[in-house]
Amino acid sequence: MTNGRVNPTHRLEDQGIAGLGSVYYNLIEPALIEAAVRRDEGRLGLGGTFLVSTGKHTGRSPKDKFVVRTPSVEDSIWWENNKPMDPAKFDALHADMLAHMKGKDYFVQDLYAGADPEHRLDVRVVAELAWHGLFIRHLLRRPARAELDSFVPEFTIINCPSFRADPERHGCRSETVIALNFEKKLILIGNTAYAGENKKAVFTLLNYILPGKGVMAMHCSANHAIDNPGDTAVFFGLSGTGKTTLSADPSRTLIGDDEHGWSDKGTF
């Protein structure tokens, strides 16, 4: 059963993802919270917050992240620092994950990664958990409702925390896997409920794609003078060094405090 608003020519079935239970497309925040509560994914806290446990993974799993080694990226990926995955292993992982998903309900969000229309990436997130849909709606930019009717994803992320990978069959390190295939424009995430994997997967895409378009991808915070975007300040530093605090200046306009792009037109 299909629920919600979606481009009628780009449903999951059109991407080869079939046999699921109910599919909920682009639900807004109240509906996602209701679904998450109903499915016992967490509980409501004070002030309307939604509280969850991410299980054994309370952070990202960088050692379980792989890039599929295909000809198009062979010479542009630093393989000493990025773990390669054989295309055949990825295909097996993809097939097994799709089989595991059959009969289960999923929550789909079609979103923009990036504020600049010239450089943004149209991303579809297919989430087993309703609260993952809620999470990613806060991290990426939401299209206008009418824009969903013609939305065509450039990359798709499938996040299935209940799926456990087989290291021997799938060419990974453990039962947890994050596999990125640039050729198939697909990211598969399994056996982790840590929602930050969704966000970091998108940032990984942008960090690879944007430099090729002449845009500097940055892990930073940034602000600009009120009514003067040309007067921009960028704050670099490792996590926890104060970037967000420094950029949250009441006398300036906050651009953001995590990932940004610097193009010929400015910072976004």
Domain regions of the chain by residue span: 2-213, 216-267
pLDDT of res. 2: 81
pLDDT of res. 114: 95
Question: DSSP letters of 243-261?
Answer: HHHHH--TTEEEEESSEEE
pLDDT of res. 183: 98
Indicate whether this model's pTM tops 0.85.
Answer: yes
The pLDDT tens digits for 72-96 are: 999 999 998 899 999 999 999 999 9
Tokens of 142: 């939401």
Residues 6+ apart with CB under 8 A from 194: 54, 57, 58, 59, 60, 61
Q: Architecture of 2-213 per CATH?
A: 3-Layer(aba) Sandwich (3.40)
pLDDT of res. 181: 99
The pLDDT of residue 1 is above 80 = no
pLDDT of res. 239: 86
The pLDDT tens digits for 131-152 are: 999 999 999 999 999 999 999 9
The pLDDT tens digits for 96-121 are: 999 999 999 999 999 999 999 999 99
Q: Could you give the CA distance from residue 139 to residue 258 in angstroms, rounded to a whole number? A: 10
